Amino acid sequence: MTQESATVDPPGDELFARVPTEVSVYEVSPRDGLQNESTLISLEGKRRLINALVAAGLRRIEVTSFVSPKWVPQLADAEELARVLRAPEGITFSALCPNARGLERALSAGLSEIAVFLSASEAHNKANINKTIADTLAVFSEIVPPAREAGLLVRAYVSTVWGCPYEGAVDPARVVKIAEKLLDLGCYQISLGDTIGVGNPRQTREIVRRFLDVMPPERFALHMHDTRGTALANVLTALEMGVRDFDASVGGVGGCPYAPGAAGNLATEDLVFMLQSMGISTGIDLDKLIEAGNVAEQVIGRALPGKVHKAGPFRLRRSPTRAS
């Protein structure tokens, strides 16, 4: 029995019947985390952060973006970074890719995975990638098939699923339709983004239910921002429904520069602490993950909001020692 699975007795409750025994964590701090930082971070700092994440056991890491350097200056060094990184066996480094130019850059940089991205709301899509949703899907229909033919894995994000900073409520039925189109194009998984951290568990139940009605849980992931402190509550709701893929960012750093108020991704160490103490395996070493959070703070040059990073780990024991 692993240290992780020995932490608590499984709660016999039927609510927990579908909770997975293993969860895959997709780390976004080098990309989503850093893209919103106004002070330019050195290539060496980015490499240190990524190495610390690898050492902690993260196997899927989004390392940068091949977007316009005018739109996201922080990640303008994407090629240079890709050149100095070597993905160890079993680890995938991926990068955001908005268009044909991005695909060309990702291919010449030698990455094995890209992530295309769009929003469920027109106004955010326009603000973020300067196109309508239909035009964006047309671009993706021209880049996803050749990316797959070139041997790349392609993931896709749908942003503003829980709410849009410009339009407010978003219809989940619309999100499902967009996700199905992206899967049909050849994306292996759709990451559903609560871009501005407004989601609540009731809404999450509704969104996840609609997805589970039409696809198995491995086809989608949750990408929660913790702007208003509801990210883990939403994760728990999704776990209870059998969702097993979650995005997170060490230290809780991050946000979309084109979504006002989009501060703070769910901190990876907060997610991993909760999962491990529930007996759910992630393959991640929490102590080393906290170390990676320290590296992120050094590299970024300020304290980060992640809670477990500050409080430290705490391992429950099955029963108190019987010394007395």
Distance in Å, CB of 301 to ligand HMG, minimum: 21
User: Of residues 25-84, which lie at the interface with Mg ion (CB under 5 A)?
Assistant: 32
**Which of residues 7 and 68 has its CB atom nearest to ligand HMG in the complex?**
68
Instruction: Tell me which of Mg ion, ligand HMG, none is bound by residue 67, counting a contact when its beta carbon lies within the kind-specific cut-off of 5 to 8 angstroms.
Output: ligand HMG
Q: According to the binding rule CB under 6 A, does residue 166 interact with ligand HMG? A: no
Instruction: Please state the φ and ψ torsions of residue 3, each to the nearest 5 degrees.
Output: -60, -40
Residue from 29, 64, 94, 99 binding ligand HMG (CB under 6 A) = 99
Characterise 252 by phi-psi region: left (phi > 0), alpha (psi -120 to 50), beta (else). left
- End-to-end Cα, the chain, rounded Å: 27
**Which of residues 32 and 285 has its CB atom nearest to Mg ion in the complex?**
32
In the chain, DSSP finds a helix count (H) and a strand count (E) of 11, 8
Q: According to the binding rule CB under 6 A, does residue 189 interact with ligand HMG? A: no
For 96, the token pair is 């955001």
Distance in Å, CB of 295 to ligand HMG, minimum: 21
Residue from 21, 83, 101, 168 binding ligand HMG (CB under 6 A) = 101
**Nearest-CB residue for ligand HMG:** 193
The rounded distance, in Å, linking the Cα atoms of 207 and 25 is 20
Residue from 68, 141, 200, 277 binding ligand HMG (CB under 6 A) = 68
The residue type at 310: K
Catalytic residue among 97, 164, 187, 256: 256
Residue from 30, 102, 163, 279 binding ligand HMG (CB under 6 A) = 102
Give kind and range of the element (H or E) at residue 159.
strand 153-159
Distance in Å, CB of 129 to ligand HMG, minimum: 4
Distance in Å, CB of 211 to ligand HMG, minimum: 16
Supply the DSSP string of 167-202, one letter for each residue.
TB---HHHHHHHHHHHHHHT-SEEEEEETTS---HH
Beta bridge partners of 114: 95, 154
Question: Taking the alpha carbons of 21, 282, 230, 157 in that order, is the dihedral positive or negative?
Answer: negative
The rounded distance, in Å, linking the Cα atoms of 48 and 30 is 10
User: What residues contact 293, with CB distance under 8 A and at least 6 apart?
Assistant: 250, 251, 267, 268, 269, 304, 306, 309
Q: According to the binding rule CB under 5 A, does residue 226 interact with Mg ion? A: no
Distance in Å, CB of 68 to ligand HMG, minimum: 3
Instruction: Please state the φ and ψ torsions of residue 101, each to the nearest 5 degrees.
Output: -65, -40
A 10 A CB-CB count for 318 gives: 8
Residue from 85, 114, 129, 187 binding ligand HMG (CB under 6 A) = 129
Q: Is 164 annotated in the active site?
A: no
Distance in Å, CB of 145 to ligand HMG, minimum: 18
Q: Which stretch binds ligand HMG (CB under 6 A): 10-18, 19-27, 123-131, 181-189?
A: 123-131
Q: According to the binding rule CB under 6 A, does residue 256 interact with ligand HMG? A: yes
Active site residues: 256
* Residues near Mg ion (CB under 5 A): 32
* Residues near ligand HMG (CB under 6 A): 32, 35, 65-68, 70-72, 96, 98-99, 101-102, 105, 117, 128-130, 157, 159, 193, 195, 223, 225, 256-258
